[in-house]
């Protein structure tokens, strides 16, 4: 899950100022900071770890970090309301926050049950549910030693995503998009073509679009596949407040 947070932080400075190459430096810009993507990912981990209502937990963390900003319009309206009902979203927030389900599950069947549990509270549109389940499944498979080819085949067969394009194919024409259906395949491709954790994040940022969310989705899978270099992990850890560190520490235990 720290991989998702790293992707979010690394991509935060490029979301509205895309950099369509992999040679950006430094890897973590001095102005990079966590966004709503990290807040929601922490909330989902908190809900799963402590068997809390995902909707209430998202609202608790959202209220705590409301001033952090960056919320999607529909999600912000939901956060600020008294409702706990879903609103039919198919936005990429469903996939961005779901990595904890892939880390905590003990089978692919459980992955998809946990993914549904934490997604249907807001993103209950079939495309939102599909994007979340595909991402969580990729995290689980990578964590359990599946190869890139095996993950690509499974996600294509089970979820119907086209993962046949390369990063080089995607980059020239990819545009900002906040839907699962036009974010998840691209983010997964960035991981499945990568040679390391950092390479996966660089791939994700280099295609442009919704950079922090694309990199957050990629980062969760990349962590499970490659691990995270200590220097990157330590730098990001220092950027997180104590309450977030507490959830992460509990998760990894």
Q: Which residues pair with 91 in a beta bridge?
A: 179
Q: Domain range spanning residue 60?
A: 2-252
Burial tier of 52 (Cβ tally within 10 Å: 0-12, 13-18, 19+): middle
130 pLDDT more than 90: yes
State the pLDDT at residue 187: 98
* Rounded (5°) CA angle 122-157-181: 35
Q: Residue 70: pLDDT band by 50, 70, 90 thresholds?
A: confident
DSSP secondary structure string for all residues of 81-149: SS--S-----BTHHHHT-HHHHHH-SSHHHHHHHHHHHHTTT--SHHHHHHHHHHHHHHHHHHTT--HH
pLDDT attached to residue 69: 81
Domain with residue 137: its CATH number is: 1.10.4080.10
Q: Is the pLDDT of residue 56 over 90?
A: yes
Average of per-residue pLDDT values in the chain:
97
Tens of pLDDT, residues 1-44: 999 999 999 999 999 999 999 999 999 999 999 999 999 999 99
Contacts of the segment 24-32: beta carbons below 8 A, 24+ positions apart: 24/202, 24/205, 27/198, 27/201, 27/202, 27/232, 28/232, 28/235, 28/236, 32/239
Span 192-245, pLDDT tens digits: 999 999 999 999 999 999 999 999 999 999 999 999 999 999 999 999 999 999
Spatial separation of the C-alpha atoms in residues 101 and 58, rounded to whole Å: 15
> Phi then psi for 91, rounded to 5 degrees?
-70, 160
User: What is the per-residue pLDDT across 168-181, written as a single tens digit (0 to 9) for each?
Assistant: 999 999 999 999 99
List phi, psi (to 5°) of 57. Answer: -70, -40
Number of domains the chain contains = 1
- Coil, strand, or helix at residue 179? strand
């Amino acid at each position: 899950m720290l991989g998702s947070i790293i992707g979010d932080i690394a991509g935060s400075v490029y979301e509205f100022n895309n950099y369509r190459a992999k040679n950006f430096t430094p890897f973590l810009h001095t102005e990079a900071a966590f966004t709503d993507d990290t807040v929601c990912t922490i909330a989902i981990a908190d809900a799963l770890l402590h068997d809390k209502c995902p909707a209430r937990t998202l609202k608790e963390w959202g209220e705590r970090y409301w001033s952090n900003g960056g919320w999607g319009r529909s999600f912000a309206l939901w956060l600020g309301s008294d409702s706990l009902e879903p609103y039919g979203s198919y936005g990429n927030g469903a996939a961005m926050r779901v990595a904890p389900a892939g880390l905590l599950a003990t089978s692919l069947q459980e992955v998809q049950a946990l993914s549904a549990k934490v997604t249907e509270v807001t993103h209950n549109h079939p495309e939102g549910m599909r994007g979340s389940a595909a991402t969580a499944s990729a995290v689980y498979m990578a964590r359990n030693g599946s190869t890139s080819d095996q993950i690509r085949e499974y996600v294509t067969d089970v979820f119907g995503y086209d993962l046949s394009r390369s990063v080089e194919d995607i980059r020239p024409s990819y545009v900002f998009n906040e839907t699962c259906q036009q974010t998840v395949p691209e983010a997964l491709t960035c991981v499945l073509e990568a040679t390391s954790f950092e390479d996966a994040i660089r791939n994700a940022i280099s295609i442009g679009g919704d950079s922090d969310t694309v990199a957050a989705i990629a980062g969760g899978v990349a962590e499970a596949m490659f691990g995270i270099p200590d220097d990157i992990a330590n730098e990001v850890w220092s950027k997180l407040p104590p309450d977030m560190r507490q959830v992460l520490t509990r998760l990894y235990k």
